[in-house]
Structure 1
Amino acid sequence: MARLRRTTISRRTVEALTAEKDTVFWDSELLGFGVRVYPTGRKVYVVQTRAGGRNGKRVTVGRHGVISAEEARRRAALIVARIKAGEAPVPEPMAVTEAKGPTVADLAELYLKEVVAVRLKESSARSYRYAIDRHILPRLGGRPALALDHAAVSAFHHSLARTPSAANRAVEMLSRIYRAAEERELVPEGSNPCRQIAKNRQRRHERFLTDAEFRRLGRALDEAQAGGGAFMYAALAIRLLLLTGCRKSEILTLRWEHVDLEAREMRLPDTKTGPRTVQLSPAAAAVLAGMPRADGNPHVIPGALNGNAMTGLQRHWVKIRERAGLEKMRLHDCRHSFASRALALGEGLPMIGRLLGHSQVQTTARYAHLARESVHEAARRVSDRIEAGLYRDCPGPATAEG
C-alpha cells in the first residue's frame, strides 16, 4: 500500500511543493484535508469524504492562488463538520470560485493601461491594441482568467490558422498579458496557459534590391520628383530611406530642427529604440540640402494639411514601385537593402546594428546569413585569384651559375 504523503499545509509549504505526477499531499493536522499537486504546477485544495461508500469521494475546495491556504483550511473544516453531521459537504465549486476572479478582458485592460500605454511607442502600441481587440477579446475576453488552460489556448491558436503570423502574435500577446498579471499578483505564479504552444512556421518577407533593380527604382524616383507636389516629396522620402536605412516613421516624423547639414547628422529625439543620431552620407545630405521647404511646416516631408507630416506615402510608393517593375517590394525593404549593401561592402553586424539604430544584437542577427554570403563571396574571389596564379605560365626558378 502506497504511503500517504503528509505535510502541514500552509502558504509556504504549498508553494514549495512539486510533483512529477498528480500527487495529493495530506495535511498532518486536519484529517481528510489535502492539496493535489499537478506536474504543470497547478495546485488544488481537496477534502476526502467517507460519504457514499468505503473510499468516499474527493471534494474540491478551491485552487491555490485563488484562495489562500488558510481559507482552504477553514472551508475544509466546515466540510468535514458537515460530513460528520450527516449533511452534504456543499463546498463552493471551483469553477464558481475561479469565475469570481478577473476575466481575460480584465487582464488585457490592465496590460494596455499599465504596460502598453506607459512603455511602448505609439506605433508599437497600435499593433498591440489591434491584436488584443481583433483576436483576443472577441474569442477569450469573457473567460475567467484562471479557467483558461493550455488546451483552450491551443484551440484559440488553431482557430487563427489561416493567418499563421497573426496567430503567433496573438498567443505571444496573451502570454505577455498573463506575465504582467502574475507580476502584479492578480493571478498566481504559473497561471500562464500559453507555455509550450507550438508556433506556426513563418516565412520571412525579406527583399534585397539587385544592382539592376536599384537602377530601375532610381529612374522611377527621378520621374516622380519631376512631377512636383506630394509625389515629389514622396520620392525624396524614399531616397532618404534608401540612403540612410532609417525606419519609415523616422523619416516621416523628421523635422528641420533635427537636421544639422553642417555636421551631416540627423538627431532624432524619439525613435522606436529611443533618441539616436543618424550620420548622413554626402548623398543623403545632398538630398536634404536640395529639398524645398514647405512654408509654415516644420516637417521635412510635409503633408497636405498645414503643419502636418505626410500620411499617404504608401499610396505614392505603390505607383513608384509599379513604374520600376518592383510590385512585390515593400517600403521596409529599403531598410533591408541598405543593410545588405553594407554587409556586401564588408561591414560587420555590430556596425550594421549601429547604422540601423538597433538596440539589441538579436535584431541585427537576422542579417547573419547575408554576412556569411559576403564572406563566401570574398573567399571565392581570393581563391580564384590564387588559383589563377598557381596555374599561370611562368619561368622556373633562377639557378646560380658556376
Structure 2
Amino acid sequence: MNTTETAFSFTKTALDGIKPTDKRAWFRDSKTLGLSICVTPAGSKTFYVIRRVAGMGRKGNNEFIRLGVFPDMTVEQARVGARLKLKSLNAGESVRAAATARKEELTVGDLWGVWREERAVGPTPDRPIKRSWRKDQRLYDCHLKDRAKRRVSEITSTLAGKIFRDVTVVSGPVEANHVKRLARAMWNHAIKHHGLDLRNPWSTLKDNHEVRREEWIKPSQMPALFKAIDSVGNQDVADMVRLCLFTGARSGNVKAMRWDQLDLDTAIWTIPSSHHKNKLIHTIPVPPPALEILRQRVGVSRDWVFPAPTKAGHIGEIRKTWHAMLKAFAAELALPEIPDLHIHDLRHTTASWLVGQGVSLPMVGKLLGHTTTVTTARYAHLATDPVREALEKITAAMGRSGPV
C-alpha cells in the first residue's frame, strides 16, 4: 500500500489539522499500540487497528480492523476501542471471523428498511400500518439517511446525542424530539424482533422542552370560520370539518366514520376500540347541528359517511381544501397572512369552548376520550369565568363580614 505514514500523539486539534492529499495517508498514534487513522483524498478520517498477523506468508501480513469515523468517534473512544480489540486478538479471536461478522452487521439503512416494512407502511402500501408513515419517511430522509451506510454499532450514545443536538439547532427542538422518538423506536424494534444485541443509544437522551400549541378559534372569529367553510368548493370536506368542530373528535376518526358506528335515533356515535387512539371504546353524543349534517349524508355510501371520491375506502388527503379554508378565513378577518392552524386545532377549539362555558375538566376529558386528567389539564387556564364567579362571591362575602 503506497502511503505516507507519520506517528504522533492523537488529539482532536491535531486530527482536525490534517489536510487531505491526492493519496490515502496513514498516521499512527504514538500513545496507543496499533491505533491508526486513514485520511482519504475526499477528506474522510477513519480510525483503524493495524495488527501484524503471523502465519500469513513468510513475513506475516497486516490486517486492518475499522473502528469508526472521526470526529463522530472521539480520540479517547478510538483508544479504548483499539485496546479492547487488541486484547481480544491476543486472546485468540479470529480476525477474519470478526471481519466477516462486521460485514454482516446491520446498517442504519437496514434498520429503516425493517421499520418501514414491518411497522410503518407494511406489505400493502394502499393500506399502511401507520397513518403517519409519511412523517417517519420525512424524518428519516432529512435527518438519518445521510448515515444509512453506518453500521448500527457505530451509532453510539455520543453520536446519537450529536445528531439530536444538530437537529435541535437546525430544525428546532420539536423536530429533534420527533427524530429521537423515531430512531429509538427503530432500534427497539430491531432489538426485540431481530436479535440486535446492543444497547439502544437513543434511550438515554432527554426530550427538548416543548411549548404546547395554544391555537384555537376564538368566539369573535367563529362567524368568519363558518363563512370560510361555506365558501370552499368541496363540501364533503366542509362537512367533515364541521363534524370535527361539533364533536371534538380527531379528524382521523371523522374521516373513517362508518354508518354502523352511528345511531341517528339516539344521536350516539360509538368509535370501536380498534379505531381509537387509546384502544378504548369511545362514545360521543351527536349534537343537533352534527345530526343534521349526518341525516343529509344518508345514502352517499353504504359503509362510509365520507367515502373516497375515486377509490374504495374513506376520504383521505384534505390539505388542499383545508388550505383554501384558511385562506378564506384570513381574508374574512383581514389578517396579514394565513394563520398557522392545523385540522387538530378544531378539537382544541371545541375543548376550549367547553371549558370557557364552565364545563368541568373531567367532563371535557370524557368527551375527548382522554384516559387521564393530566391530558385535559392543558385547558384549565381557560376556565376563567367560573373562577371569576367564585372569586366575586368570596370577595363580596369578605366585604359583608365586617371587622372582627
Do the two structures share a fold, i.e. TM-score over 0.5?
Answer: yes
Q: 2:257 aligns with which of 246, 254, 257?
A: 254
Q: TM-score, normalised by structure 1?
A: 0.64
**Matched residue count:** 309
Cα shift readout 1:129-186 (whole Å, capped 9, x = no counterpart): 44334432x2222111112212322332244332223322112211222223333473
Which amino acid is the alignment partner of residue 292 of structure 2?
Answer: V
Matched residue of 1:78: which SS?
coil
Deviation at 1:194, TM superposition (A): 1.9
Q: 1:78 aligns with which of 88, 92, 102?
A: 92
Could you say which residue in structure 2 is the equivalent of 1:60? Answer: 85
Paired with 2:92 and 2:280, the residues of 1 have a C-alpha distance of 61
Identity of aligned pairs, percent?
Answer: 21
Could you say which residue in structure 1 is the equivalent of 2:195? Answer: 186
2:252 equivalent to 1:245: no
Alignment check: 8 A CA contact 1:297 1:307 kept: no
Could you say which residue in structure 2 is the equivalent of 1:140? Answer: 147
2:163 equivalent to 1:156: yes
Could you say which residue in structure 2 is the equivalent of 1:234? Answer: 237
Deviation at 1:292, TM superposition (A): 3.5
Which amino acid is the alignment partner of residue 85 of structure 2?
Answer: T
Could you say which residue in structure 2 is the equivalent of 1:86? Answer: none
Cα shift readout 1:317-344 (whole Å, capped 9, x = no counterpart): 3333333337312221100111222333
Could you say which residue in structure 2 is the equivalent of 1:279? Answer: 284
Query: Structure 1 residues 347, 307: closer, same or farther in 2, change over 3 A?
Result: same
Q: 2:380 aligns with which of 367, 371, 386?
A: 371
Could you say which residue in structure 1 is the equivalent of 2:109? Answer: 105
Paired with 2:223 and 2:299, the residues of 1 have a C-alpha distance of 29
Output aligned runs, 1:1-400, within 5 Å.
58=83, 60-61=85-86, 76-78=90-92, 98-116=102-120, 121-136=129-144, 138-160=145-167, 161-164=169-172, 165-184=174-193, 186-189=195-198, 191-221=199-229, 223-224=230-231, 231-269=234-272, 270-274=275-279, 276-293=281-298, 295-296=300-301, 298-305=303-310, 309-311=314-316, 313-325=318-330, 327-328=338-339, 329-358=341-370, 360-361=371-372, 365-374=374-383, 377-388=385-396, 391=399
In the alignment, structure 2 segments of 5+ residues that lack a partner are 1-76, 123-127
Alignment check: 8 A CA contact 1:60 1:93 kept: no
Query: Structure 1 residues 233, 110: closer, same or farther in 2, change over 3 A?
Result: closer
Query: Structure 1 residues 102, 121: closer, same or farther in 2, change over 3 A?
Result: closer
Alignment check: 8 A CA contact 1:61 1:93 kept: no
Cα shift readout 1:217-265 (whole Å, capped 9, x = no counterpart): 23444x43xx7xx532222211111111111111122232322101212
Alignment check: 8 A CA contact 1:104 1:144 kept: yes
Paired with 2:303 and 2:166, the residues of 1 have a C-alpha distance of 47
Alignment check: 8 A CA contact 2:244 2:254 kept: yes
Deviation at 1:350, TM superposition (A): 4.1
Paired with 2:143 and 2:84, the residues of 1 have a C-alpha distance of 36
Matched residue of 2:85: which SS?
strand
- More deviation, 155-164/237-246: 155-164
Paired with 1:104 and 1:303, the residues of 2 have a C-alpha distance of 37
Deviation at 1:98, TM superposition (A): 4.2
Which amino acid is the alignment partner of residue 370 of structure 1?
Answer: Y
Cα shift readout 1:85-141 (whole Å, capped 9, x = no counterpart): xxxxx95697886454222222333334444468x95313443344334432x2222
Paired with 1:59 and 1:117, the residues of 2 have a C-alpha distance of 40
Paired with 1:339 and 1:274, the residues of 2 have a C-alpha distance of 21
Which amino acid is the alignment partner of residue 155 of structure 1?
Answer: K
Paired with 1:318 and 1:185, the residues of 2 have a C-alpha distance of 42
Matched residue of 1:108: which SS?
helix
Query: Structure 1 residues 198, 122: closer, same or farther in 2, change over 3 A?
Result: closer
Query: Structure 1 residues 199, 349: closer, same or farther in 2, change over 3 A?
Result: same
Alignment check: 8 A CA contact 2:177 2:207 kept: yes
Query: Structure 1 residues 174, 337: closer, same or farther in 2, change over 3 A?
Result: same
Matched residue of 1:323: which SS?
helix
Alignment check: 8 A CA contact 2:257 2:306 kept: yes
Cα shift readout 1:177-202 (whole Å, capped 9, x = no counterpart): 2223333473334x222244354444
Could you say which residue in structure 1 is the equivalent of 2:39? Answer: none
Matched residue of 1:194: which SS?
coil
Instruction: Select the structure of larger CA radius of gyration.
Output: 1
Alignment check: 8 A CA contact 1:121 1:272 kept: no
Paired with 2:299 and 2:317, the residues of 1 have a C-alpha distance of 17
